[in-house]
Amino acid sequence: MTRFGYGIDATLARDVRRAGGAPAWFEQQLTSPGSFPDGAADAVRRWWPDLDRRASDLWQRQVQEVRGGWQVMEDYGRWLLVRRIRTRRPVLEKMTEFWEAMLHVPVSGDAHFTWRVDYGDTVRRHALGRFDELLTATTTHPAMLIFLSAATSTKRAPNENLGRELLELHTLGAGNYDEDDVKASARILTGHHVDLWESWKASYVKEDHATGKVRVKGFTHTNRKADGREVTREYLRYLAHHPLTAQHVCERLATKFVRDDPPRSLVKRLAKVYLKNDTAIVPVLRALAASKEFRSSAGDKLRDPGEDVVATYRALGVEVGRPSRNDSASNAILWQASRLGLTPHAWPRPDGTPVTDRVWASPSRALGSMDLHYSMAGGWWPSEGIRYRTPRAWVSSKKPVRFEDLVDAVSRDLLHRPASKRLVQTATIATGCKAREKIDRDHALYQWGFPRLLAAVLDSPDHLAC
C-alpha cells in the first residue's frame, strides 16, 4: 500500500477497508482502477489549460512569447504532483510514473516539450497493459522521436541516438548489445518523422527509410519495403519479448519496489512471469507484491523527492486549491520538489529518474527534506491557496492528553502507525516535553511549539521511507 501508493491518508484507508483489506484493494487497483471514482484528481487538469493545447499551438505561443515551453512544462510537473496527492488510483499513477521514468523523455527541451504532455498521457493508457504495446507506443511517439534524434534521422546517415538508448535503457540493458546492433537499430527506425519548428506533425517518410537486410541480436528482417513501419513493429515486439528485456524491466521494478541491488532470484522469477504472460504488466506486479522479498522489505525504500513532497501533503491532510497567483501552493509545490533535488521527469539524462536509494540518500536531500517538513509543519510555506490543519485537530479542548499519547495520536494520523519508542524519544528531545507531561490548549506546545512535534514525525525514517 505504501510502496505502490503515495502515502496513506484517510481516503485511502477507507478504500482499503471497503475493498476488504490490502490484498483485495491491490487486486482491484490492478484490474479495475476505474472502479475507484477519481473526480477530484481528474478535475485538476483544468487548473492548467495549456496542458491540453496542441503541439503547433504551444509552439506558436512560445515563438510569440505568450508563454514559454518551460512554463508549460512546469505546469505539467505541478499537475502530476497534485494529481498524485488527490488520486484514488495510486497504483495506476505510480506505474505511470515508473514507466514514464524508465522510458524517459525529459520535460526540458525546446522541441519535444510540444508533445510531452501527450507522451505522458500515452504512457498512462498503457501503464497497466502490456509492455510490448507500451514500448511500441513510446518508441514511435513524436516526443521520444524528437528527444532522441530519430525525428529527422534518415538513411543518408542514420542517427544512432534512439537506436542505442532503445537497446540500452528501454529493453536489453547495458552491455547486452554491440555497435553493429546499434547501427541496425538506427536503420530500422529511419523514416519516422516529425516536422520540427513548423507544423509539428508526425508522419512517415518512405524516402528516408534505410532498406536492406537488418540484424539485431536474434532479430533479422529483409527490410525490403520503403515503408519500414512493419519492420519497426516487429522489431519492437521482438525486443519487448526478449529474455534480457524481461530481466532489465523486472530488475528496475524490483529496484524501485524492493531494494537497490535486488535479489537475482526474485528478478528471475518476475522475468519468467513477464515472458509467460506475453509481457502483460499486471501479472508481474501481482507476483512482485506476493513475493516474500517484497513483504520483508517494507519500509526499506527511501522516498524520492517527488514522493516525499506528495506524502507530506497527504500526511498533513492539507487541502490544495486551484492556483490563483504565482505563489499559490499548487504552483509552489514544484519549487518544493526542486529543493529536494528533482521535479517530475526533469532528470536531464536519457536514463530517467533514478530508482536507487543511493542517489537520493544525500546530505542535500536530507537538508531539503527537513526544510520541506519544517515549513509545512508550521504552515509557513506555501501559505497561499492551501488550508492547513491547526493543533486543534490533535489536542481537544475537553481534557488534557499525556505527551506520549499525543505523539502516538499524531503518528497514527500522519503515518497511520502507532508511535515507535524511538519516535516518542525523538519528539521529547525536539520539544523538551516529558513523556507524561499533560498537554492542553493552554500549554506552550499547543500555543506555539506544535510545528516542532509535527516536523519530528515527518523527519522520521517512518515518513522518509516506504
Q: Angle of helix 229-240 relative to helix 131-139, nearest 10 degrees?
A: 140
For another protein, the binding residue among 55, 102, 144, 182 (CB under 8 A) is 182
For another protein, the binding residue among 329, 355, 401, 427 (CB under 8 A) is 427
384 lies in the site for another protein, by CB under 8 A:
yes
* Cβ contact 241:232 at 8 Å: no
Question: What cell does 313 get?
Answer: 501533503
Place of cell 501508493: 5
Neighbouring CB atoms inside 10 A of 387's CB total 12
| Contacting range for another protein; rule: CB under 8 A; set: 21-29, 89-97, 263-271, 361-369 | 361-369
3-state secondary structure of 199: coil
For another protein, the binding residue among 19, 38, 50, 70 (CB under 8 A) is 70
* Cβ contact 437:403 at 8 Å: yes
| Binding-site string for another protein from residue 26 to residue 65, where x marks contact by CB under 8 A and - marks none | ------------------------------------xx-x
For another protein, the binding residue among 19, 40, 196, 409 (CB under 8 A) is 196
Task: Compute the least distance from the CB of residue 298 to another protein, in Å.
Answer: 15
The residue among 88 and 301 lying less far from another protein, judged by its C-beta, is 301
* Cβ contact 300:2 at 8 Å: no
The residue among 302 and 414 lying less far from another protein, judged by its C-beta, is 302
φ, ψ (nearest 5 deg) of residue 453: -70, -50
Neighbouring CB atoms inside 10 A of 392's CB total 11
423 lies in the site for another protein, by CB under 8 A:
yes
Task: Compute the least distance from the CB of residue 226 to another protein, in Å.
Answer: 18
| Binding-site string for another protein from residue 285 to residue 304, where x marks contact by CB under 8 A and - marks none | -----------------x--
d(CA 397, CA 395): 7
Please name the helix (run of DSSP H) or strand (run of DSSP E) that holds residue 402, with its range, or none.
strand 401-402
The residue among 82 and 302 lying less far from another protein, judged by its C-beta, is 302
Helix (H), strand (E) counts: the chain: 25, 8
For another protein, the binding residue among 10, 13, 370, 435 (CB under 8 A) is 370
The residue among 36 and 360 lying less far from another protein, judged by its C-beta, is 360
| Binding-site string for another protein from residue 90 to residue 129, where x marks contact by CB under 8 A and - marks none | ------------------x-x-------------------
Q: What is the DSSP string of 246-283?
A: HHHHHHHHHHHHT-SS--HHHHHHHHHHHHHTTTBHHH
For another protein, the binding residue among 10, 157, 298, 435 (CB under 8 A) is 157
Buried b / exposed e across 226-259, counting CB within 10 Å, b at 16+? Answer: eebeebbeebbbbbbbbebbbbbbbbbbbbbbbb
Place of cell 529511419: 190
277 lies in the site for another protein, by CB under 8 A:
no
The residue among 318 and 359 lying less far from another protein, judged by its C-beta, is 359
d(CA 355, CA 74): 22
Question: What cell does 311 get?
Answer: 506524502
Task: Compute the least distance from the CB of residue 220 to another protein, in Å.
Answer: 21
Task: Compute the least distance from the CB of residue 39 to another protein, in Å.
Answer: 31
351 lies in the site for another protein, by CB under 8 A:
yes
For another protein, the binding residue among 38, 321, 335, 405 (CB under 8 A) is 335
Task: Compute the least distance from the CB of residue 233 to another protein, in Å.
Answer: 24
| Contacting range for another protein; rule: CB under 8 A; set: 93-101, 235-243, 408-416, 428-436 | 428-436
The residue among 49 and 363 lying less far from another protein, judged by its C-beta, is 363
Task: Compute the least distance from the CB of residue 466 to another protein, in Å.
Answer: 12
444 lies in the site for another protein, by CB under 8 A:
yes
Q: What is the DSSP letter of 47?
A: G
How many residues touch another protein under the rule CB under 8 A: the total is 94
Task: Compute the least distance from the CB of residue 236 to another protein, in Å.
Answer: 20
Q: What is the DSSP string of 54-79?
A: -HHHHHHHHHTTSS-HHHHHHHHHHH
Which residues have CB under 8 Å from 125's CB, separation 6+? 137
Which residues have CB under 8 Å from 344's CB, separation 6+? 76, 77, 80, 81, 97, 107, 306, 337
Q: Angle of helix 329-340 relative to helix 363-377, nearest 10 degrees?
A: 150
390 lies in the site for another protein, by CB under 8 A:
no
- For another protein, the binding residues in 124-153 under the rule CB under 8 A are 148-149, 152-153
Q: Among residues 76, 77, 93, which one has the least CA distance to residue 6?
A: 93
The residue among 108 and 277 lying less far from another protein, judged by its C-beta, is 108
The residue among 32 and 199 lying less far from another protein, judged by its C-beta, is 199
